[in-house]
Amino acid sequence: MFRFLLWVFAVGLFVVSASCGNKQNTNKLIPVEDFFVKPEKSNFKLSPDGRRIAYLGVDDHCKNIFVLDLQDKNKSKQLTYQSDMNVQYFFWASDSLIVYSNSHSPQDSLRIYSVLVDSEKTTPLLPTKNARLRWLAPHTLHGNYLLATLNNRDSTAFDLYKIFVDGSAPQLLTRNPGNISKWFASPDGKVRLAMTNDSVQESILYRAEEDMPFQQVTTTDYQTLIRPLGFVKDSHTHIYALSNDNRDRLSLVEYNVSTGEEERLIFENSEVDLEPVGYSDHLQELIFSQYTINKVKRHFFHPTFQQNFNKLSAKFDNQSIDILDTDTSMYHWIVKVYTDVHAGGIYHYDVLKDTAELLEEMNPKLLTATLSPKETVSFQSRDGLTLHGYLTYPLTGKREKLPVVVLVHDGPNRRETSNFDAEVQFLANRGYLVFQLNYRGSAGYGKKFWTAGFKEWGGKIQADMIDGVTWLIHQGIVDKNRVAIMGSGFGGYSALHAATYNSSFYKCAISMSGYTNLFTYFREIPPYHQQYVRLFYNIIGNPSKEYEMFKAISPVFHADKVKIPVLFAQGGKDRFSSLTDANQFVQKMKNNNVPIKYIYREEEGRRFRSEENIINYYQEVEAFLNKYL
């Protein structure tokens, strides 16, 4: 089966902010709930032999596993019957065995099970415990066990285990000395490769056999990334990897892990980083490489696969296609077909029959709606950096002096794309121009662009947003008196920062799970991320050594400076934005008689997951923007 690996650079988060104003919207208003309806079926995955497709569907208000038999639809059935908690994830461990986890929420205790598809026999694999588990890819059954890491001994370190699918007690294979961040298995199930991380340096470790000690073969600084993707066929010493060692952009290379040397450059793009690589664990071959400039592009290594992809693409003219899964023969694919104005459909593509069968529409309520396409823009920041982004115009026919919502992405080590975005379409349908910027520090544009955002959370990153809007104002596109900012996570932080320090530039701000206090952000880093703390010091700053900077850019200490209306949404289980800090920020605004709409949901975390809460949130966003712009 394919394994798609997307490596991101670091850590960060964003917040929600919104636009404001009275407007004449000539296009038909679509109900809020139509934008944010969740699909009934999700997480489609092929069995290795391509005979069956498993997916998550809703039964008795909970997500359960269903299996579709491609050879005999009458044998399709529901496989799990959870009635008090959702199945969170699952994978095929073999042609007839599925491993899954369930919980009330992703923060709950670990519950792992295996289930035989034919007999429906379910076996608990681990006792319920407060621990985290990470499966080693590929999820291949080796006899009667799978490979995984657990932090049950030490919450800061993940030890290597055999997890037996018959429910036998897990067997410890290798104890983590404390600094190993990742383990990698070769196709024969031997763990020959590992990586250590002390936040400042990262090292690759190699051993020829499992009874031998690991040897350090190379060490790089925190700005240099070497990310293993898979072993080269018939080799235990050569891997395919994404690397920006001695170059600015992540490129595809062949790497010798026994010597720590790059053997050859396979493929690179001159403009952007390479993203996931389509690597076949079964074939031990590269199938394609992928990158995004304005839209996703691919470079194929497998001629037959390319021919089949082209045949599929011809069926869906001018639409984007994501390959979500294949069987081991690569004769059966699960794909997502979408555009910037179509949420997409999930299809089963039968290569031999050349047929594409729709499995699920991601949002059937928007199929007949007229939505707004994304347009690309680029401009120069005040210090000469080229920045790229997307504009989505409302369908009012007007393209000048528009109210704008600056929609700030989370991260900061993520990026905006031309993909469909329900939030963007909702705002555009309400008559707002939506501006999405890949500010400095965003992923995908190379090492220099990424590091340009270091220690600039409250500085040049925020200036990039202002520079972008100023450029739009000078182009005559945006009304300078009708600028809103919105985001979640780091985007939410940006919205609160804007309200605190740039009230004269923005008209209103909307924050979902925005960080009010960066000291709290560091205090709440979970134990299993402690090895990355010094990396965070380099990217964000050191709260002990750079106390004054942290205090200066944490909105909670400067809420008295806020002069514009703010909508602030917060989940009670959000560890990165404490309820105490949020309440303090809100109370200061109330004391100063500045309009504040506070939405608190005790049962939610960093993101609202309940469909009811999501819809209610966007209804409040709509009312807020109508009132204040």
Q: For the chain, what percentages of helix, strand and coil (3-state, to nearest 5) are there?
A: 20, 35, 45
Examine residue 543 and state whether it is found in any structural domain, yes or no: yes
Examine residue 127 and state whether it is found in any structural domain, yes or no: yes
CATH number, domain with residue 174: 2.120.10.30
Give tens-digit pLDDT for 335-348: 999 999 999 999 99
Last residue of a domain, one of 178, 195, 214: 178
Examine residue 208 and state whether it is found in any structural domain, yes or no: no
Task: Report the mean per-residue pLDDT for the chain.
Answer: 92
Report the percentage of the chain scoring pLDDT > 90: 82
Examine residue 253 and state whether it is found in any structural domain, yes or no: no
Bigger pLDDT: 625 or 534? 625
Q: How far is CA 29 from the centre of its chain?
A: 30
Bigger pLDDT: 110 or 574? 574
Per the structure, the complete domain to which residue 141 belongs is given by 40-178
Give tens-digit pLDDT for 368-418: 999 999 999 999 999 999 999 999 999 999 999 999 999 999 999 999 999
Last residue of a domain, one of 155, 178, 201: 178
- Residue 608 phi/psi, 5-degree rounding, is -70, 130
Residue 18's pLDDT band, with cuts at 50, 70 and 90, is very low
Last residue of a domain, one of 145, 178, 211: 178
User: What's residue 19's pLDDT?
Assistant: 36
Examine residue 393 and state whether it is found in any structural domain, yes or no: yes
Give tens-digit pLDDT for 196-219: 988 789 999 999 999 999 999 999
- Rounded to a whole number of angstroms, the distance between the first and last alpha carbons of the chain is 51
- Res 41 pLDDT > 50: yes
CATH number, domain with residue 495: 3.40.50.1820
- Res 22 pLDDT > 80: no
Examine residue 486 and state whether it is found in any structural domain, yes or no: yes
Over residues 114-127, mean pLDDT: 94
Which strand (E) or helix (H) includes residue 496? helix 490-501
Give tens-digit pLDDT for 479-503: 999 999 999 999 999 999 999 999 9
Examine residue 329 and state whether it is found in any structural domain, yes or no: no
Examine residue 444 and state whether it is found in any structural domain, yes or no: yes
Give tens-digit pLDDT for 217-265: 999 998 999 999 999 999 999 999 999 999 999 999 999 999 999 999 9
Give tens-digit pLDDT for 319-337: 999 999 999 999 999 999 9
In the chain, the number of structural domains is: 2
473 burial via Cβ count (<10 Å: 0-12, 13-18, 19+):
middle
Report the percentage of the chain scoring pLDDT > 70: 95
In 29-75, beta strands by DSSP E: 41-46, 52-59, 62-69
Contacts of 542 (CB under 8 A, 6+ apart): none
Identify the three-state secondary structure at position 45.
strand
- Res 5 pLDDT > 50: no
